[in-house]
Amino acid sequence: MRLSLKPFLPRSLFGRAALILVVPIVTVQLIVSVAFIQRHFEGVTRQLVHGVVVELALLRDAVDSASSAEAARAAVLPLARTVEMTVDLPAKDIAVADLRGWADLTARPVITELRNRLPNILSIDLASRKGIVLLAEQTRHGPMLVSLPRSRVSASNPHQLLVIMMLSSVLMTLIAYMFLRNQLRPIKRLAEAAAAFGKGDAVPYRPRGALEVRAAGAAFLDMRARIERAIETRTLMLSGVSHDLRTPITRLRLGLSMLPEDEDTLALLSDVREMERLVDAFLAFARGDAMEEPVECDPAEIVRQIVDNVVRSGQSLEAESRLDGPVQMRMRPQAVQRAVENLIGNALRHGAKVKLTLSATDRGVRFVVEDNGPGIPETQREAAMAPFARLGAARDPNHGGGVGLGLSIAADVARSHGGRLMLGRSDALGGLRAELFLAR
């Protein structure tokens, strides 16, 4: 079984950059701390122990050269006071084994050096009395217990180095964090501006930060300006086309209305109406939602308006809202309403029963339109959302079908709101299930 650390690593750029910054600092600090303690403090400890061993040798020689225990005490006590040690001879309460604290960093080299240099030593106690070393050594007149300050054999405060290094690491990390946050803020603003533009909202943005980030921001602004000019040019061109096409179509209708009503005249009037429907559908697709500004609105109100429009047209629609409460969302209400009505129109055209369901999550809202019609095969669903796509004779405009733009308009509206249009099979009605998802 392969263990992967990827699920535990941060996903954001800031988190990964902070990890790249912190891990080397901590690693270097640990390596330096361990190396310094092992080399510097152990070296200092060996030098201090060597001096203490010389003094202990003088005390032991004074004791061993005495003829009796009383003479030994009389000879060793002045020497012990001179070297700042305390001697108990013969000693009664001595440790039977070496003692040291678990957090004592220099205890091991102290005990090792004393053991190597003092062959007659019995025990070394570094834990019973704080700041005191108790040495039990075998002499001619019995065990001798020597007590001396701990500072005589090792550095008194090795932890200060670790504390200073940790504090300096934390300080440097905080300073680096502030610089890193300032460097990543322009990238975050660029991402927010790009995401907003993807939803059709051109928020104010000014390139800032490092040269590379400024270059990316300037490229984004140029791209956004070109896209906006293209949309504006397309909209203006199609507005002119609309005016130019509607004028001759209106003349054709007026001319046909003055002719006698026979079979040929009625057929021509039907063709004129079909031309008007084609022009309206094409302009609605080409215009999209570029002329509408996003506003805060309630999706439930859009659903109520859609239901009222369907009822006024003499058709039936089952609507269901699964919202837990009022929902306010920034969107283009007219574009969304037009997209949902296109989905409902397709459903009413191919099915006898249609259902509209509104639901919401933390990520966005869903408009789901289901019908009991023939549906769309899974292999053709992607192609069905292409402009002017008509699948089969049932969707031929000459046989009462659409012009192949309803799903395309709905898909464009979904993309402009940061969402998408998904087609599937309805489990409840058995026909087509069209889900229009709009991101928050």
Q: What is the pLDDT of residue 396?
A: 45
60-75 per-residue burial string, b: 16 or more CB within 10 A, e: under 16: bebbeebeeeeebbee
Residue that wins the pLDDT comparison between 261 and 240: 261
Q: What is the mean pLDDT of residues 198-206?
A: 77
Residue that the structure tokens 């290094």 belong to:
165
- Which of the given ranges, 154-158, 229-233, 236-240, has the highest pLDDT on average? 229-233
Q: What is the pLDDT of residue 291?
A: 58
Q: What is the mean pLDDT of residues 215-229?
A: 87
Q: What is the mean pLDDT of residues 159-167?
A: 72
Side-chain half-sphere CA neighbours of 293 within 13 A: 3
DSSP per position, 70-131: HHHHHHHHHHHHHTT-EEESS--S--SS-B--TT-TTHHHHHHHHHHH-TTEEEEESSSSTT
Calculate the dihedral angle through the C-alpha atoms of 329, 370, 309, 247, rounding to the nearest 10 degrees. Answer: 100
Q: What is the pLDDT of residue 415?
A: 81
Q: What is the mean pLDDT of residues 268-290?
A: 69
- List, for residues 374-399, the tens digit of each pLDDT value: 888 888 878 777 766 666 544 444 44
Q: What is the pLDDT of residue 398?
A: 45
Q: What is the pLDDT of residue 384?
A: 78
- List, for residues 324-341, the tens digit of each pLDDT value: 878 888 888 888 888 888
Other C-beta atoms within 10 Å of 46: how many?
Answer: 17
Q: What is the pLDDT of residue 394?
A: 47
Q: What percent of the chain has pLDDT over 70?
A: 85
- H helices present in 258-354, as ranges: 263-287, 299-312, 333-350
CA distance 182 to 176: 10
Q: What is the pLDDT of residue 197?
A: 79
Whether the model pTM is above 0.75? no
Beta-bridge mates of residue 121: 137
Say yes or no to pLDDT of 47 above 80.
yes
Q: What is the mean pLDDT of residues 307-320?
A: 85
Query: What average pLDDT does the structure give for the chain?
Result: 80
Q: What is the pLDDT of residue 367?
A: 92
Beta-bridge mates of residue 99: 125
308 to 231, 286, 320, 341, 350: CA distances (angstroms): 32, 27, 14, 11, 21
**Of how many residues is the chain composed?**
440
- Which of the given ranges, 100-104, 113-117, 199-203, has the highest pLDDT on average? 113-117
Residue that wins the pLDDT comparison between 360 and 28: 360
DSSP class of residue 298? -
- List, for residues 406-439, the tens digit of each pLDDT value: 787 788 888 878 788 888 888 888 888 999 998 8
Q: What percent of the chain has pLDDT over 90?
A: 3
Residue that the structure tokens 């803020």 belong to:
185
Give helix then strand counts, H and E, for the chain.
11, 11
Q: What is the pLDDT of residue 163?
A: 75
Q: What is the pLDDT of residue 333?
A: 85
Which pair of tokens denotes residue 41?
Answer: 């403090």
Residue that wins the pLDDT comparison between 173 and 39: 173
Say yes or no to pLDDT of 185 above 80.
yes
- List, for residues 246-260, the tens digit of each pLDDT value: 778 777 878 877 778
Domains along the chain with CATH numbers: 9-156 (3.30.450), 294-439 (3.30.565.10)
